[in-house]
């Protein structure tokens, strides 16, 4: 492991602390009183003060922050103000659904983008290439809040093939995964096409073709493995993006995941639950990015030997 990767590993806890601090400060600076929302407008002042003291919201902000950090070091995310349950337990119930959706979207995106990008790169300038680039442009341009209802109208209400919402089985995963994965599939298609096209023009591929190797073999054995190295980095970064993109998708399809829980917590001004959900998403994002850097170094000898990431 070279010095650059060691620095990234060392800075990961510092980044996590900065994220935790930012989440705490931003949430406590947002206008609104969670106690008033929990008790309603008709609550008496004495009752509100009692609940505020029980929740520790009557203490100075600095003391609340230190107690918050101390709890994080112990692995204690606090208790939900609304649900009156430990935040860790609530997150543990929803994380599997979000990871299931993110992984399904990732698999769907790769299954579409890899063959389509390779097919387009091998037929540059032809109709197939133009169609693939058109798909990439449309896929990147379609927002999930528009695509999701459109898929529901087409496949659930119109054709009756798939359930509208919920998490009742594999069929209920199809539409959310399509909604979440289409944009990533479009992005990956463009990347795979560009990377494979560049590799096909490299001297080692031209030499292999001149020695009698078939174009198909040169494409799949030599060009594609090298072209996938930068794609791996994008996949790692986009997996974190899928977690944040799942917030809207889960809301549209009533998917019982972390994103839907986060939206509920924000609406209810449930500070501990919002903090826990955001920190979990940020933590997963940081770990995925770190794993991506390590995997990239494993795949590319120039990084592993300390030469730095190629431009």
Res. 308: pLDDT tops 50 = no
Res. 311: pLDDT tops 70 = no
Chain centre distance of CA 66: 29
- For helices 224-252 and 258-267, angle between their N-to-C axes, nearest 10 degrees: 40
What distance in Å separates the CA atoms of residue 308 and residue 302, rounded to the nearest whole number? 6
226, HSE (Cβ side, Cα atoms, 13 Å) = 17
Lowest mean pLDDT among 17-21, 25-29, 93-97, 112-116: 25-29
pLDDT digits (tens, 9 = 90+) for 129-185: 788 778 777 777 777 777 888 888 888 888 888 888 777 778 888 888 888 888 888
- Domains present along the chain, CATH in parentheses: 91-304 (1.10.3720.10)
pLDDT digits (tens, 9 = 90+) for 59-111: 787 888 888 888 888 877 878 877 888 888 888 888 888 888 888 888 888 88
CA 166 to each of CA 77, 134, 162, 169, 260: distance values in angstroms, whole numbers, following the listed order: 27, 32, 11, 9, 12
Q: Which of 125 and 173 is assigned the larger pLDDT?
A: 173
pLDDT digits (tens, 9 = 90+) for 26-61: 767 766 666 666 666 666 777 777 777 776 777 787
pLDDT at residue 146, as a whole number: 79
Residue 86 sits at φ, ψ, to 5 deg, of -60, 135
What distance in Å separates the CA atoms of residue 162 and residue 154, rounded to the nearest whole number? 10
Q: What is the pTM of this model?
A: 0.74
pLDDT digits (tens, 9 = 90+) for 230-274: 777 777 777 777 777 777 888 888 888 888 888 888 887 777 888
């Amino acid at each position: 492991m070279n010095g650059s990767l060691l620095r990234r590993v060392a800075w990961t806890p510092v980044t996590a602390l900065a994220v935790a601090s930012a989440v705490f400060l931003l949430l406590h600076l947002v206008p609104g009183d969670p106690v008033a929302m929990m008790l309603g407008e008709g609550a008496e002042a004495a009752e509100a003060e009692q609940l505020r003291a029980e929740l520790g919201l009557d203490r100075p902000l600095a003391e609340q922050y230190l107690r918050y950090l101390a709890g994080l070091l112990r692995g204690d995310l606090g208790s939900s103000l609304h649900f009156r349950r430990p935040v860790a337990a609530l997150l543990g119930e929803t994380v599997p659904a979000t990871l299931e959706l993110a992984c399904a979207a990732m698999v769907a995106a790769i299954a579409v983008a890899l063959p389509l990008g390779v097919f387009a790169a091998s037929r540059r300038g032809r109709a197939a290439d133009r169609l693939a680039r058109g798909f990439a442009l449309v896929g990147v341009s379609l927002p999930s809040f528009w695509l999701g209802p459109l898929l529901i109208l087409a496949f659930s209400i119109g054709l009756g093939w798939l359930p509208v919402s919920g998490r009742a089985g594999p069929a209920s995963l199809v539409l959310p995964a399509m909604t979440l994965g289409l944009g990533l599939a479009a992005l990956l298609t463009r990347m795979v096409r560009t990377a494979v096209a560049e590799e096909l023009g490299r001297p080692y591929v031209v030499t292999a073709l001149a020695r009698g190797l078939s174009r198909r073999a040169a494409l799949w054995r030599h060009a594609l493995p090298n072209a996938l190295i930068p794609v791996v980095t994008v996949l790692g970064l986009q997996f974190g993006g899928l977690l944040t993109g799942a917030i809207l998708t889960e809301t549209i399809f009533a998917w019982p995941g972390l994103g839907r829980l986060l939206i509920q917590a924000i609406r209810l001004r449930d500070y501990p639950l919002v903090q826990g959900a955001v920190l979990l998403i940020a933590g997963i994002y940081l770990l995925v990015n770190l794993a991506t850097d390590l995997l990239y170094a494993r795949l590319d000898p120039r990084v592993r030997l300390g030469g730095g990431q190629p431009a």
